[in-house]
Structure 1
Amino acid sequence: MNQEQITRMVREKAVPYPTQTIRLVETHISWVLLADRDVYKIKKPLRFSFLDFSTLEKREHYCGLEVILNRRLAPGMYRGVLPLKEQEGTIRIGEGEGTLVDYAVWMKRMDEGRQMDVLLEAGGVGQAEVRDLADILADFHSRARKVREAETWEELYAEFEDISTVSEWLGHRFGKETGHLVTEINAWVRTFLKGISGRIEERKAAGFVVEGHGDLHSRNIFLLNPPVIFDCIEFNEAFRTLDVLSEVGFLCMDLERFGRADLADAFMERYQERTRCIRDATDRQLFLFYKLYRANVRLKVHALQLQKGLVSGASRQVELKMVSEYLRLFRGYFEEGKGFV
């Protein structure tokens, strides 16, 4: 599939059920068609170091895997996989005559007004909602596949240290001290992770490393009754294999980005009550590190968009705002944790 074909499908409303409108949302790896009652997600034919959608067979495989994995937390949302077929130059989603050209993940369209990030912006999230999320995730993690062999402290550091790819740009945009800060934090993280490497291994043996969601932030949550957590990472098993503290640390970091440390605390109080995932002071330090790590990743992603000139106009201003927010968290978590070593 290519952009021209997708644009034509949107124009022709080439979906299996009648719809008044179709809106196209594009990510760097997918095209998402939002019809009145359904959503169709088509994977782009891409290959990166962390993802391979380069062949029809692989896209079929990952469409199926996406449905299976997301039904763990969003069983009523993920309907299945549908073929895309071409006949006489027209491509449509759904069964029927024609030549198979691709696949789409078929989902129920949810109420976007109930998306958690939207509600956070409007001040519409309270402690009851985050405690419900903590219960859901505690149950999910207790059932999830335990992984005894996972990334080492060296591999975790290598992922963290990759923030260096944007340190020069950050220095130009936010001042030289910011570029120096990245170097300082990287050095601290290496010392910290090496020092607690034994505990990282112990947590694997204790069952705290699981095949989880992998992308747990507020935009991937609908606060319905019950809440629906969707869009887990299907394309790379390593990305969804993680310590539960990394998983919930992502959500807590996101809540703190919205200025809701109170909600992050309420969430963790309930999650800790249910799981006892923090056993000692070292585990508390590790939880702070994972929030730092998640801020690092989001900072890098948004900075790269700007560094590579991939956004302009209003979108550029949005990206700059996001970089500033994640940089604030990145610096704050380091200031809180640097006394550990």
Structure 2
Amino acid sequence: MPGNPETELNCSEDDQSQVVRFLARPGVLGEAVEEVRTTHVSRLFFTATRVFKLKRAIRLPFLDFATPSLRRAAAEREVMLNRRTAPDIYLAVRAVTREPEGHLALDGTGMAVDWLVEMRRFDDRLLANRLAESGRFGPDEARALGELMIDFHQRIEKRPDKGGHRAMTKAIQDLASALTGAADRSLAVFAEELVPPLLRLCERHRQLLEDRRSRGMVRQCHGDMHLGNLCLIDGQLTAFDCIEFNDDIACVDVLYDLAFPVMDLVRFGHRRAAQTVFNRYMVATRDYGGLSLMPLFLAGRALVRTMAEGLAGQIEGARAYATLGEKLVDPPRPRLIAIGGLSGSGKSSVAYHLALTLAPGPGAVVLRSDEIRKRMFDVAPEKRLPTAAYSREASRTMYVRMMADAYQALVAGWPVVADATFMAPGDRAAIETVAQDAGAAFTGLWLDAPGEVLMTRVAGRTDDASDADATVVARQLEADVGEITWSRIDASGDVETVVAAALSAL
């Protein structure tokens, strides 16, 4: 076991130069070093199968790696925290030691002079940002990201000592200072446009931010889950490189953590994927009371990337994020659209299309009965449920849950699209009452299609949340749905035609 450093003197990067040269020498890391990359806080040594990260001997306003013991603590914490999501990637903390004879060694018996994080190397061509850039971030990846976020946030430590109104305000002010203090003055313009409305939202939601902190919604999150810190590894979407060096940055509201990849998907032109991640998470967690904060959180994450791109000299990238932030910072108008009709009428396709027209970013909340029912039984939406899950009692519970969730989202100021058969007149009346109680506008749409069209559609479904089959459709066709007072839409055509008709009805 290497010894601790005899002294704790602050050192500069010049003092690390011998360690850097040592690590680059053939054979030191077991395999030849193929590439060395320098980031703003680390040096990365790439071999054929490994990456070794050396934290730079620097002190910045938000981190301190000035001494070997601080770098050791940060390396150990990096491995510990990242193993929550990427246990097969973060392998070990390795010591660079100075041996009695004066030379450096890896994991020798002498005194430790520096520390490395050893990681398994993965194919960075499969980073989520590169998948998004090339149009390869599809529905499977979006669903996987949603499940990753759901599972991660359920497992991580609650941190009521962090977060809240003061922390969020300071985070925005710190980002503003970084932009206004940059050498490129165009970055200050981005801050001037976006920071004031963000600070106003912070103040408007002061109490909600504090309430959520006290209720355990501030947790030891990833803290930096943009698409560049997600990768397909062994076929699984995996988050890596979380914030380990500053708990003020890492310990945030779970919805602020969620907002980062959602915002980034929108930035890369994948609103449908962002919608999938957002809705999957919301239906599973039912955290609808926090939706008031989404304009603040989404635009706040855009500001983070504005700073990161700008300070890296990528001014056009910074401009794109700033422009997106200005769109996301305006709260949408709450309204409720209910879409009913028999199975196979295309309700869900229409719902997701309409939702993107009702709010920026990921769009309106879509409360799909099929997904709500699956979450009631603690299974992913694509898993089939037994017949017992469709009992009269289970269906009643599902509708009660849908109504409650719709109300919570509406009073939080977010638009909602409710997607269910709504075959019972009482259920149609109940969803209308939800809108009235929440003080939101209501529109009901009923999708009509011939029986043979319904049968063909349900027979062709794959990997879908609906378990309805031809038997279910046949039973529905025989049922009396009562008088339909909602706007009736001919749903026998293609999705684009039906969506256009639905938009006209709005």
TM-score range, shorter chain: 0.7 to 0.9
Q: Quote the residue 1:9 is aligned against.
A: 22
Q: Contact 2:157 / 2:219 at 8 angstroms: preserved in 1?
A: yes
- Spell out the pairing of 1:306-321 with structure 2 (5 A cutoff): 316=313, 319-321=314-316
- Spell out the pairing of 1:22-37 with structure 2 (5 A cutoff): 22-37=34-49
Q: Contact 1:33 / 1:40 at 8 angstroms: preserved in 2?
A: yes
- Spell out the pairing of 1:1-341 with structure 2 (5 A cutoff): 2=14, 4-5=17-18, 8-9=21-22, 11-17=24-30, 19-86=31-98, 91-92=104-105, 94-96=106-108, 98-165=110-177, 166-167=179-180, 173=186, 179=189, 182-183=191-192, 185-224=194-233, 225-279=235-289, 283-305=290-312, 316=313, 319-335=314-330
1:119-171 per-residue CA deviation (whole Å, 9 max, x = no partner) reads 11111111111211211221111111112232332332232134544358799
Larger proportion of helix: 1
TM-score, normalised with respect to structure 2: 0.58
SS state of the match for residue 133, structure 1? helix
- Output the CA distance in 1 between the equivalents of 2:21 and 2:192: 48
Measured at CA, do residues 184 and 104 of structure 1 come closer, stay the same or move farther in structure 2, by a change above 3 Å?
A: closer
SS state of the match for residue 227, structure 1? strand
TM-score, normalised with respect to structure 1: 0.84
Partner amino acid, structure 2, of 1:111: D
Measured at CA, do residues 111 and 185 of structure 1 come closer, stay the same or move farther in structure 2, by a change above 3 Å?
A: closer
Measured at CA, do residues 45 and 172 of structure 1 come closer, stay the same or move farther in structure 2, by a change above 3 Å?
A: closer
Instruction: Report the alpha carbon displacement of residue 49 of structure 1 after superposing the two structures with TM.
Output: 2.3
- Output the CA distance in 1 between the equivalents of 2:57 and 2:174: 26
Structure 1: gaps of 5 or more residues: 306-315
Measured at CA, do residues 191 and 32 of structure 1 come closer, stay the same or move farther in structure 2, by a change above 3 Å?
A: same
Partner amino acid, structure 2, of 1:218: L
- Output the CA distance in 2 between the equivalents of 1:237 and 1:182: 24
Instruction: Report the alpha carbon displacement of residue 228 of structure 1 after superposing the two structures with TM.
Output: 1.7
Q: Contact 2:33 / 2:45 at 8 angstroms: preserved in 1?
A: no
- Output the CA distance in 2 between the equivalents of 1:11 and 1:105: 15
Q: Quote the residue 1:311 is aligned against.
A: none
Q: Please report the RMSD computed on the Cα atoms of aligned residues, expressed in angstroms.
A: 2.7
Larger CA Rg, structure 1 vs 2: 2
Measured at CA, do residues 11 and 184 of structure 1 come closer, stay the same or move farther in structure 2, by a change above 3 Å?
A: closer
Greater relative CO, 1 or 2 (CA 8 Å, sep 6+): 1
Aligned residue pairs total 319
- Output the CA distance in 2 between the equivalents of 1:193 and 1:200: 8
1:15-35 per-residue CA deviation (whole Å, 9 max, x = no partner) reads 332x24421011111111011
Measured at CA, do residues 292 and 170 of structure 1 come closer, stay the same or move farther in structure 2, by a change above 3 Å?
A: farther
1:306-340 per-residue CA deviation (whole Å, 9 max, x = no partner) reads xxxxxxxxxx4xx1221122122122223556998
1:271-298 per-residue CA deviation (whole Å, 9 max, x = no partner) reads 112211223xxx3231121111111122
- Output the CA distance in 1 between the equivalents of 2:180 and 2:111: 48
Q: Contact 1:146 / 1:210 at 8 angstroms: preserved in 2?
A: yes
- Output the CA distance in 1 between the equivalents of 2:269 and 2:26: 41
Moved more, 294-303 or 82-91: 82-91
Partner amino acid, structure 2, of 1:261: R
Measured at CA, do residues 334 and 170 of structure 1 come closer, stay the same or move farther in structure 2, by a change above 3 Å?
A: farther
